[in-house]
Structure 1
Amino acid sequence: MSGWDAYITNLINTGFVTQAMITGHDGNTWAKSSDFNPSQNEIKLLIAWLQKPTNEKTTDGIKLCNKTYMPIKYSNKTGIFKCNDQSSFTAKLTNQTCVIGVANETIVDQRCNEEVRKICAYLKKANF
């Protein structure tokens, strides 16, 4: 995973992402923050939702690290999700990856989303 760790470091170093992860579409981890440990099942369900959201305003929410987040925005295989504690995360699919960026309650979720989108744009250009 060492080559992918630089993407995680770059996301965290922006100051707008507190935890991050890159996975394959199969849910296998390519790189992640050391303190970020969602289950593989949570990741697989998130990826399935991003590939085909059955309902953008699902009442069940999306679980990540055993916390429930509600989708607040979805477009072009990108979702922004918010928890009742005001933390949020953005998840975006590229051709081969899912990039997840988490923001704590002090960070505006749109800024986290922008940083995840930048990494994804780069990955898409590199055919990932």
Structure 2
Amino acid sequence: NHPHALARPRADLRSLILTQSLFLRYILNLPPRSLPIPPALSHFSSINLPPLDRSRSDGRAKMSWQQYVDEHLMCEIEGNHLAAAAIIGHDGSVWAQSSSFPQFKPEEITGIMRDFDEPGTLAPTGLYLGGTKYMVIQGEPNAVIRGKKGPGGVTIKKTTMALIIGIYDEPMTPGQCNMIVERLGDYLVDQGF
């Protein structure tokens, strides 16, 4: 038994929490607390979300949904970007999408929404989007659904009013797709969307 065997995971956890908190402050344009953004996260600078427009009574950012898709979901990370992305209402209405986003069927969105309400319903049949079948892999009940197909996949983040969808293919990694989609989704949840 090594004397520091138990101390190491706690230090790693502190480092992870610090890194995540700095990254969140960075993408939400919050002033730094005298700590710089770690160099390992500098490649995420292109997903810097707009500052809130404090002149509006609701404090929400003045930005079109298409800008969120074009500038944040389709941003470049380490030379890679999503193959397609969209923001879709819970009712299946398209708020914004990339030009490469597949034409989906209403029943595909209905199935996705059902899985958010009753986690696990898509696992036996697979997740369909634009006629493409994805094997459902680990997600977060009522928050995130992830699917895999060959070297690519899909991440779907549910917000209060919308679904944030990112489709990726190699060389983009599942982790990069998750980061882009889920961070924007978390931001929109915080803004009431």
**TM-score where L is the length of structure 1:** 0.88
Preserved contact between residue 16 and residue 115 of structure 1 (Cα < 8 Å): no
- Does structure 1 residue 51 correspond to structure 2 residue 113? no
**More contact order relative to length (CA 8 Å, sep ≥ 6):** 1
Preserved contact between residue 4 and residue 30 of structure 1 (Cα < 8 Å): yes
Specify the code of the residue in structure 2 equivalent to 1:4. Answer: W
Q: 1:23 aligns with which of 88, 91, 97?
A: 88
For residues 36-93 of structure 1, the C-alpha deviation after alignment (integer angstroms, 9 at most, x for no partner) is: 122222122112212322347x23101111111011111142011001x321000010
Name the structure with the higher strand share. 1
Specify the code of the residue in structure 1 equivalent to 2:185. Answer: C
**Aligned-residue CA RMSD (Å):** 1.7
Number of aligned residue pairs: give it.
125
Deviation of residue 115 (structure 1)? 0.5
Give the greater-gyration-radius structure (CA): 2
Specify the code of the residue in structure 1 equivalent to 2:67. Answer: A
Which 4+ stretches in 1 moved above 2 angstroms?
Answer: none
Specify the code of the residue in structure 1 equivalent to 2:148. Answer: K
Deviation of residue 28 (structure 1)? 1.1
**TM-score where L is the length of structure 2:** 0.60
- Secondary structure, aligned partner of 2:156: strand
- How far apart are the structure 2 equivalents of 1:47 and 1:21? 15
Deviates more, 1:112-121 or 1:37-46: 37-46
Percent identity between the aligned chains? 28
**Runs of at least 5 residues in structure 2 that lack an aligned partner in the other structure:** 1-62
- Does structure 1 residue 79 correspond to structure 2 residue 145? yes
- How far apart are the structure 2 equivalents of 1:21 and 1:51? 21
Specify the code of the residue in structure 2 equivalent to 1:104. Answer: D
- Does structure 1 residue 8 correspond to structure 2 residue 73? no
